[in-house]
Amino acid sequence: KAGFSGTKNERMFELMDGFLKNDPVSLQKDILHHVEYTVARSRFSFDDFEAYQALSHSVRDRLIERWHDTQQHFKKKDPKRLYFLSLEFLMGRSLSNSVINLGIKDQCAEALSQLGFEYEVLAEQEGDAALGNGGLARLSACQMDSLATLDFPAWGYGLRYQYGLFRQIIIDGFQHEQPDYWLNFGNPWEIERVHVSYPVKFYGTVKEEIVNGKTSKVWIPGETVEAVAYDNPIPGYGTRNTINLRLWAAKPSEGHDIESYNTGDYINNIVNRQKAEIISNVLYPDDRSYQGKELRLKQQYFFVSASLQDIIRRFKDVHGNFDEFPNKVALQLNDTHPSISVVELMRILLDEEHLGWKKAWNIVRQVFTFTTHTVLPQALEKVPVDLFESVLPRHLEIIYDINFAFMEELKKKIGQDYVRMSRMSIVEEGAVKNIRVANLSVVCSHTVNGVSRAHSELLKTRVFTDFYELWPAKFQYKTNGVTQRRWIVVSNPSLCALISKWLGTDSWIRNVDYLTRLKEHASNPDLQHEWRMVKKINKMRLAEYIETMSGVKVSLDAMFDVQVKRIHEYKRQLLNILGVIHRYDCIKNMEESDRRKVVPRVCIIGGKAPPGYEIAKKIIKLCHAVAETINNDEDVGDLLKLVFIPDYNVSVAELVIPGSDLSQHISTAGHEASGTGSMKFLMNGCLLLATPDGSTNEIIEEIGAENMFIFGAKINEVPALREQESTVKSPIQFARVVRMVKDGYFGYKDYFKSLCDSIENGKDFYLLGSDFTSYLEAQEAADVAYVDKEKWSKMSILCTAGSGRFSSDRTIEDYAEKTWGIQPCKLPS
Ligand code: BZD
């Protein structure tokens, strides 16, 4: 308007007439706008993918509005904030999740249908954001969803890998890894913040300088890399709160190395600068040991350094000194991967803020909390001192100082017990001197959390016994949980509608306690009937997918029996396959008349093997070899099928889990820290066949053992069984199926030899033989239960009804209160 005479702000308010509207017509206008001006296609000609892009940008606009308001609100209120530091986030798809959390799915579907597009088809266009390996990374994603939904003032920090977790392709039954070029088609869910960037230093030397009359350490780096922020808005459900996941990408640093430009080798200098980007190039596939990998250490420090600079800048915007820091900042270490941040914070407080050791140490010990996700002592990270010294020389000095202070403190408490002191030391002496990152994390955090009750006991009695004796109050546990928004509302819309109908409310989406009310209806034949219909719809979807992926046609009447998770010996996919062989063998040797009594099964296995893990890769090949034999055997027909689902990831899980009848969580007791897959299946009314490991005991408490199929040795029985293992003969059925593999019944005799050897008497570390008989019994019990449709439906309803305790909302509430000390900070609606 010409002649406007108000203030700049008034003018802005006048121009921006309120928030974007969510009715179908407004959405249509926005979508077409984005087709034309963002995607740069004609609004008269665009395909499904372009429609997906335009829709995503329309949704993103709405996220940005809320994101701005939320950040503004947090700034105004200045509450204590939680910073969740994790090297891995497995977010999966964003569109489907965002439209649910924004409450605009139906409006989007309607808007699109009038334009000739189908919402579901567009949602399928999106590739997964797979910036993580497995359980740990998906847990971070679920927790972000809960933090946003529960209005907590939280930020996530991580790395923006160019290549996420490898894609698994199967050629001739063997796993091959291919790079995941997830950014190739653009990513509408992130916002690049070119102005939010920080220099991150590496290598070099440390000098002493006198600052204000005091000696101070100065780190002269040998390399500087720039960290640039990419923000990913995380919307809460049923609230306007939208929090931020800030991921860092490495870019060459401006102004660095100007000297060398004068030497004339212009091209080479540009090429060298480009090498900086390597740091955030690729996610390490989890091999649970990164001993001596320089790039891994650089990735860790890179993201930690950028995050802390960002956090401190935000704090200093409001506060003049660090007295309030512990009251305003909680730093969560998601496993040991970000633990170098305790040293980095010490370094900043000492060398840059000149706070003095006592004050700095006091702050550090009040702000960090640590959650570990492993049981295996050998999986605890160690970094060779030499490597540390070269990459982070100043940090090594500080670690030595922290360790010295800790050892002095320890001496006062336990006297001169040098053996115990050397066990607890952060520095491991030996042929190769190492930094024990787990010990560093325990010493510097005020709370150490396990991820299930059983895990916590193992931490106290096996992994961190010395530390537990020293600081019993430090050790807590928060049983993991998963978000019902993603795992029911997004992935199982039919079940979602059914639950809301029978509860007469959809409040369970924000407050899972409501789910328990389903128990009252568990025996109701009408609900049971509708429940079975929903399962059938989901099984149909899954059956179609299986046929497309593997060419195998499966019967919907068969029980869909699923094990999907990373492939690892301790998770015992091999036990599952041997069980399938046993079932096959029984069917083959049965009288024709008995075959009619067999409960038909479709056994589904999916998961990625770490690229360097030979045995895990052989398990995948065995699955294919056995499937080849069984699926082509006319004697067997629909009574048994075995399928391997390739490239298992979050979006595949969203399809597989709702379509499963039975799921297997069969790790050797004492090895799975928690397990979260089981919780997703449980929510979807899928029965569990499980060992008493990780969080399963807690699931039993909620659901009742009578509604599950539990088998195998208990955690405290495993050590003795292992000792006896070489003297106790494995059961005949076990020996028989192993022999079939060994004798080449499924081909590849030589290739499978080492796999068979790994479970031979005396070498069967994961106790497959010892648990085999009870495994088969549990499988039989599942068959019997499945035939009784009413009974099965009731058990299935009770699974969903009892799954509330395994919502990440409960986990996060618990962390907020007992570990982080944060309060909700809700945007006024
Ligand atoms: O963390 C998993 C545990 O194995 C599960 O039992 C548990 O439920 C989840 C969540 O707490 N651990 C991992 O997923 N670990 C990793 O992925 C990992 C990644 C890099 C390095 C080491 C481990």
ipTM of the complex: 0.99
Q: How far is the CA of 134 from the centre of ligand 1 (A)?
A: 6
pLDDT at position 258: 54
* Residue 673 CB less than 6 A away from ligand 1: yes
H runs (alpha helix) in 563-706? 573-588, 592-595, 614-631, 650-656, 677-683, 696-703
Q: Is 411 helix (H, G, I), strand (E, B) or coil?
A: helix
Of 81, 565, 568, 582, catalytic: 565
* Residue 360 CB less than 6 A away from ligand 1: no
* Residue 610 CB less than 6 A away from ligand 1: no
Q: Calculate mean pLDDT across residues 58-65.
A: 98
Q: Is 511 helix (H, G, I), strand (E, B) or coil?
A: coil
**pLDDT (tens digit per residue) in 172-209:** 999 999 999 999 999 999 999 999 999 999 999 999 99
Q: Taking phi first (over 0 means left), then psi (-120 to 50 degrees means alpha), and beta for anything else, what does residue 18 get?
A: left
Across the beta sheet with 434-436, what order do the strands follow?
Answer: 382-384, 434-436, 427-428
pLDDT at position 259: 58
Of 60, 571, 582, 621, catalytic: 571
**pLDDT (tens digit per residue) in 742-785:** 999 999 999 999 999 999 989 999 999 999 999 999 999 999 99
434-436 and 382-384 beta bridge pairing: antiparallel
Distance CA 182, CA 190 (A): 13
Closest by CA to 559, choosing from 788, 800, 794, is 788
Of 73, 298, 347, 373, catalytic: 373
The letter for the amino acid at 72 is: Q
Determine whether 382 is an active site residue: no
pLDDT at position 288: 66
Determine whether 328 is an active site residue: no
Q: Calculate mean pLDDT across residues 631-642.
A: 97
What values do phi and psi take at 6, rounded to 5? -80, -170
Determine whether 565 is an active site residue: yes
Residue 3 above 90 pLDDT? Answer: no
**pLDDT (tens digit per residue) in 580-595:** 999 999 999 999 999 9
pLDDT at position 52: 98
Residue 702 above 50 pLDDT? Answer: yes
Q: Using an 8 Å Cβ cutoff, are 709 and 687 in contact?
A: yes
Q: Calculate mean pLDDT across residues 92-117.
A: 98
What is the average pLDDT score of the chain?
A: 96
Closest by CA to 272, choosing from 284, 283, 282, 259, is 259
Distance CA 491, CA 626 (A): 31
Query: What six digits make up the tokens of 653?
Result: 């899980």
**pLDDT (tens digit per residue) in 391-410:** 999 999 999 999 999 999 99
Q: Using an 8 Å Cβ cutoff, are 535 and 541 in contact?
A: no
* Residue 288 CB less than 6 A away from ligand 1: yes
Which amino acid residue places its CA nearest to atom 20 of ligand 1? Answer: 286
Domains and CATH numbers, the chain: 78-93+128-478 (3.40.50.2000), 535-814 (3.40.50.2000)
Cβ neighbours of residue 314 closer than 8 Å, sequence gap 6 or more: none
Q: Taking phi first (over 0 means left), then psi (-120 to 50 degrees means alpha), and beta for anything else, what does residue 354 get?
A: left
H runs (alpha helix) in 153-293? 258-261, 266-274
Q: How far is the CA of 507 from the centre of ligand 1 (A)?
A: 31
The H or E element spanning position 252 is: strand 242-252
Q: Calculate mean pLDDT across residues 560-573.
A: 98
Distance CA 564, CA 604 (A): 8
For a mutational test of ligand 1's pocket, the pick from 373, 483, 811, i.e. the residue with the most ligand atoms closer than 8 A to its C-beta, is 373
The atom of ligand 1 lying closest to the CA of 138 is: 10
* Residue 136 CB less than 6 A away from ligand 1: yes
pLDDT at position 829: 77
The H or E element spanning position 616 is: helix 614-631
Separation in Å, CA 480 to CA 380, 402, 549, 664, 817: 20, 31, 32, 18, 15
pLDDT band at 638 (very low <50, low <70, confident <90, very high): very high
Closest by CA to 659, choosing from 532, 486, 539, is 539
pLDDT at position 1: 42
Q: How far is the CA of 85 from the centre of ligand 1 (A)?
A: 15
Which amino acid residue places its CA nearest to atom 1 of ligand 1? Answer: 136
The atom of ligand 1 lying closest to the CA of 379 is: 22
Distance CA 169, CA 585 (A): 29
The atom of ligand 1 lying closest to the CA of 675 is: 8
Q: How far is the CA of 680 from the centre of ligand 1 (A)?
A: 16
**pLDDT (tens digit per residue) in 350-385:** 999 999 999 999 999 999 999 999 988 777 889 999
* Residue 86 CB less than 6 A away from ligand 1: no
Q: How far is residue 616 CA from its own chain's centroid?
A: 20
Determine whether 566 is an active site residue: yes
pLDDT at position 213: 84
Distance CA 387, CA 381 (A): 14
The atom of ligand 1 lying closest to the CA of 695 is: 8
The letter for the amino acid at 156 is: G
Distance CA 414, CA 651 (A): 52
**pLDDT (tens digit per residue) in 252-298:** 987 655 556 566 678 887 888 888 899 999 999 987 677 778 999 99
Cβ neighbours of residue 402 closer than 8 Å, sequence gap 6 or more: 342, 343, 346, 361, 426, 440, 443, 444
Closest by CA to 36, choosing from 63, 6, 58, is 58
pLDDT at position 379: 78
The atom of ligand 1 lying closest to the CA of 694 is: 6
For a mutational test of ligand 1's pocket, the pick from 90, 131, 136, i.e. the residue with the most ligand atoms closer than 8 A to its C-beta, is 136
Residue 18 above 90 pLDDT? Answer: no
pLDDT at position 97: 98
Residue 326 above 60 pLDDT? Answer: yes
How long is the chain? Answer: 829
Sort 525 into a burial class: Cβ within 10 Å, 0-12 / 13-18 / 19+.
exposed
Separation in Å, CA 734 to CA 220, 627, 727, 759, 760: 62, 19, 16, 10, 10
What values do phi and psi take at 193, rounded to 5? -110, 85
The letter for the amino acid at 293 is: K
pLDDT at position 138: 98
The atom of ligand 1 lying closest to the CA of 676 is: 8
Which amino acid residue places its CA nearest to atom 15 of ligand 1? Answer: 136
Q: Calculate mean pLDDT across residues 557-566.
A: 98
First-to-final CA distance of the chain: 31
* Residue 608 CB less than 6 A away from ligand 1: no
